[in-house]
Structures are given as structure tokens and as C-alpha cells.
């Protein structure tokens, strides 16, 4: 009786070795560039961390509460104040500001790359067909895998955490930007062409304003995914709440794990509500609510 072929009967494909060789080649070839990127990211992170963590707790907390009040109202402001007070009460404020600095920097870098790439995909079907499977890979690849090459290239610290976070969180920004622009009514775009507007002006004055609510939803998702990488970034030496969560896991310290975890939740709720409120304040979103009413 002949046994049916099984996966173990196939020749070994050294795919992992090929990838490792590529990473080694990239690391050695572009070591100078990576050193510059590391220096820039460290400087940006240090400056932002000093801005958030340097002043007294109540100063930064009141500024963040004022932002919540302006974009949403007194309910979010009051809830944010209670949440920030709780973070400070469990002695996690400094770690929370480290985490917030990492999330803000990673989100900004991700959006600077994602939004122009999403616009390009919306305006060029070939680019969209090439980028789409890459985004699928980025979203489905386990986040821990991103840390391996980033640690090899940038060594331990906050920089590999930032780079891994950017890679992991960038995909929704591209997808939502492309979706928002593609959903703009073609008749509106054709009307712009009829009045003699160029492609750049149509993009700035028609497509981007009409797509803004969808793009802001993508911004929200980028920020949330960036925050979800906090714990993983802590594994490579990034400061913040993630490092305390990793330490609590290693020491089986329930109290430290809960305090760090609840601080992450408070930051997540604050960032989610603020970005959602900014999306609702877009002129197109307000016009749609007025039409529905």
C-alpha cells in the first residue's frame, strides 16, 4: 500500500533563511541611514516625552481635559479628569505619558505615510492592486514578528517599538483613505472638471473634504492599533505602561498588571472619544446630520 504524500515529504524550503539573509544585507548596507532614523526618532520621542511628562501632573491633565471639553463636551471632560486622576493615584502617570508620547509619535509617522499612499491607491488602480496584498500581510502577520527585524536593525529601546508600531498600525490609514476618496460621488468630481479645476484642486477642495469623515475613522483605527502595541513594545525595552505589564507578567504580579492595564484602558478611551469627536465635527459630517434631521 502506497502512503499518500504528506507535507513532511516535501523538500525543505529555507524561506526563513532567505528572509534572514535579506535583513542582514539591508542592515549592513543601510546601517548609516538606520542610525540617522534612530537618532531622529529618539530625539522626537524624547522631546514629546519631555513635553508631556515634564510639567506637573495637574498641568498636563488639565490641558488634556480642556481638549476633551472643546471637542466633545463636559461629559467626556469630566470622565477624562476622573480617569487621569485614577492613573496618577496608582502611580502610573509618568508611564502613561511615556506611552502617550510613543503612541502619538508612531501614529503621526504612520499617518504621514498612510494618507498619501491611500490617495495614490485611490487614484491609480494598479497601485491599489499592488498595495492591497501588502496591507493584508501587514494586518495578519503576528505583531511579535515585526519586533525581530526591528530589534536587529535598531537594537533594543523605544525605536524598534515605534517602527514596529508604525508597520502594524499603518494599514487602516491607507485603506480608509482610499475608501473615502473612492466613495466621493463621481458627478461631483466631474462637475469640478467641468468648471476647469485641475486634479490637485479637485483633490484638495472636493475629494479630501468629502472623504474626511472616513479618513478620520482611519485615523482613529491607527491610534487604537498603536496603543494595542504598547505591551509588545515594552518587550524590547520601550518605556511606558507596556514595560510594567511585561514586568507584571514575568513576576506574576496581579496588582501591577491591573494598574498598568487599567491605565492603558483609560488612555484608549480618551483617544478614541477625542478622535471620534473630531470626525463628527467635520463639515461634511455635520451637513449629513443636518440632512438626516
Phi, psi dihedral angles at 193 (to 5 degrees): -60, -40
CA distance 193 to 202: 8
pLDDT score recorded for residue 111 = 92
* Secondary structure of residue 92 in the 3-state scheme: coil
What is the DSSP secondary-structure string of 204-272? IIIIHHHHHHHHHHHHHHHHHHHHHTHHHHHTTT--SHHHHHHHHHHHT-HHHHHHHHHHHHHHHHHHH
pTM of the model: 0.85
- Please give the mean pLDDT across all residues of the chain: 83
pLDDT tens digits, one per residue of 229-281: 877 777 777 777 888 888 888 888 888 888 888 888 898 889 888 888 887 66
Q: Which three cell numbers stand for residue 270?
A: 480618551
Residue 3, number of CB atoms within 10 A of its CB = 6
pLDDT tens digits, one per residue of 185-229: 888 777 877 777 777 788 878 888 888 888 888 898 998 888 888
Buried b vs exposed e over 274-284: b needs ≥16 C-beta within 10 Å? bbbbbbeebee
Local confidence band at 291 (pLDDT 50, 70, 90 cut-offs): low
Angle separating helix axes 208-228 and 93-123, nearest 10 degrees = 140
pLDDT score recorded for residue 110 = 92
Q: Give the residue-averaged pLDDT of 156-168.
A: 85
pLDDT tens digits, one per residue of 35-91: 898 899 889 988 988 888 888 888 989 999 999 998 888 888 999 999 999 999 988
Which fold is adopted by the domain 30-286?
MetI-like fold (1.10.3720)
Angle separating helix axes 254-280 and 57-71, nearest 10 degrees = 40
Give the residue among 40, 95, 45, 84 at the shortest CA–CA distance from 62.
Answer: 84
pLDDT score recorded for residue 6 = 54
pLDDT score recorded for residue 283 = 63
Amino acid at each position: 500500500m502506497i502512503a499518500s504524500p504528506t507535507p513532511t515529504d516535501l523538500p525543505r524550503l529555507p524561506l526563513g533563511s532567505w528572509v534572514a539573509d535579506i535583513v542582514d544585507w539591508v542592515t549592513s548596507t543601510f546601517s548609516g541611514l538606520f542610525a540617522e532614523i534612530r537618532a531622529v526618532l529618539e530625539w522626537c520621542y524624547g522631546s514629546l516625552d519631555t513635553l508631556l511628562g515634564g510639567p506637573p501632573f495637574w498641568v498636563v491633565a488639565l490641558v488634556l481635559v480642556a481638549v476633551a471639553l472643546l471637542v466633545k463636551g463636559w461629559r467626556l471632560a469630566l470622565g477624562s479628569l476622573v480617569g487621569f486622576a485614577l492613573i496618577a493615584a496608582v502611580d502610573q502617570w509618568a508611564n502613561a505619558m511615556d506611552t502617550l508620547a510613543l503612541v502619538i509619535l508612531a501614529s503621526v509617522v504612520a499617518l504621514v505615510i498612510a494618507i498619501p499612499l491611500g490617495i495614490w491607491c485611490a487614484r491609480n488602480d494598479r497601485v491599489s492592486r499592488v498595495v492591497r496584498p501588502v496591507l493584508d500581510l501587514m494586518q495578519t502577520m503576528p505583531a511579535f514578528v515585526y519586533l525581530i527585524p526591528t530589534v536587529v536593525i535598531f537594537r533594543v529601546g523605544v525605536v524598534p517599538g515605534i517602527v514596529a508600531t508604525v508597520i502594524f498600525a499603518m494599514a487602516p490609514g491607507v485603506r480608509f483613505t482610499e475608501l473615502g476618496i473612492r466613495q466621493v460621488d463621481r458627478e461631483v468630481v466631474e462637475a469640478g472638471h467641468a468648471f476647469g479645476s485641475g486634479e490637485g484642486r479637485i483633490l484638495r477642495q472636493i475629494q479630501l473634504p468629502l472623504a474626511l469623515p472616513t479618513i478620520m475613522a482611519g485615523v482613529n483605527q491607527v491610534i487604537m492599533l498603536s496603543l494595542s502595541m504598547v505591551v509588545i513594545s515594552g518587550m524590547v525595552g520601550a518605556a511606558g505602561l507596556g514595560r510594567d505589564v511585561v514586568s507584571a507578567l514575568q513576576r506574576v504580579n496581579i496588582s501591577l498588571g491591573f494598574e498598568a492595564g487599567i491605565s492603558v484602558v483609560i488612555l484608549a478611551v480618551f483617544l478614541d472619544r477625542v478622535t471620534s469627536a473630531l470626525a463628527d465635527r467635520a463639515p461634511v459630517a455635520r451637513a449629513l446630520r443636518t440632512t438626516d434631521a
